[in-house]
């Protein structure tokens, strides 16, 4: 059994991916994080045009379409929780905490320094002192444009063809064909 198969078969991984409270310090999860951190460190010494860039980014994010690109530096917790559609471009300094899956559709433009956070720490302070959290997936539809510095919080879905203004903090779902802005982001107008 490969390391990846062992990880996907572990109880804490299954809890993490199914929105249950899980221990983020479980050895198999820490191994996955360390692996991703090491690959992200390699990427930080490269440019988008470095000869070894494509091999390294595909090692980090399995299934990354050839038509899509992530400009280094890039940071994530695992990499295998990031799913990106065709013809999507992710600019410099993106952070994806992918304990929960982060799905970004096709033909999306993600501005520099965007952040996608799936972990949610417990509300109760005593529980928060333990090494536990819950992860809620993030979904970005097709043909979306997120301006620079957008933060997407746990469990948020952004519909197709949306524009999220630079610097916005998205804490709740945004329907398709909307332009949203602010902290917290609110729909400013319907597009189309």
Cβ(34)–Cβ(21) below 8 Å: no
DSSP helix/strand/coil, 106: coil
* 3-state SS, residue 102: strand
**Rounded distance between C-alpha atoms, residue 62 and residue 54, angstroms:** 11
Q: Indicate which residue of 8, 87, 107, 121 is catalytic.
A: 121
d(CA 84, CA 62): 10
Distances (CA, A) of 60 to 67, 134, 185: 16, 23, 30
- Please give the Cα distance from 180 to 157 (Å, whole number): 13
Query: Is 121 known to be catalytic?
Result: yes
Q: Which of 180, 133, 141, 181 is nearest to 158 (CA)?
A: 141
Burial of 77 (0-12, 13-18, 19+ CB in 10 A): buried
Helix locations, the chain, DSSP H: 3-9, 11-17, 27-43, 53-60, 125-128
Active site residues: 121
């Amino acid at each position: 059994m490969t390391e990846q198969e062992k990880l996907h078969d572990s109880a804490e991984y299954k809890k993490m991916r199914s929105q249950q409270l899980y221990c983020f310090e479980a050895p198999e999860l820490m191994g996955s994080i360390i692996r991703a951190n090491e690959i992200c460190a390699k990427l930080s010494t490269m440019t988008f045009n470095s000869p070894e860039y494509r091999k390294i980014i595909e090692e980090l994010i399995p299934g990354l379409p050839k038509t899509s690109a992530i400009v280094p530096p890039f940071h994530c917790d695992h990499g295998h929780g990031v799913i990106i559609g065709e013809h999507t471009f992710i600019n410099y300094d993106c952070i994806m905490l992918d304990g929960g899956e982060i799905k970004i559709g096709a033909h999306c433009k993600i501005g520099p320094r965007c952040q996608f956070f799936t972990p949610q720490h417990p509300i109760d302070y005593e529980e928060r002192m333990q090494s536990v959290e819950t992860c809620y997936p993030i979904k970005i539809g097709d043909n979306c444009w997120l301006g620079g510095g957008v933060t997407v919080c746990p469990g948020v879905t952004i519909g197709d063809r949306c524009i999220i203004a630079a610097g916005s903090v998205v804490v709740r779902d945004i329907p398709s064909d909307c332009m949203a802005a602010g902290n917290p982001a609110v729909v400013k107008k319907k597009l189309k």
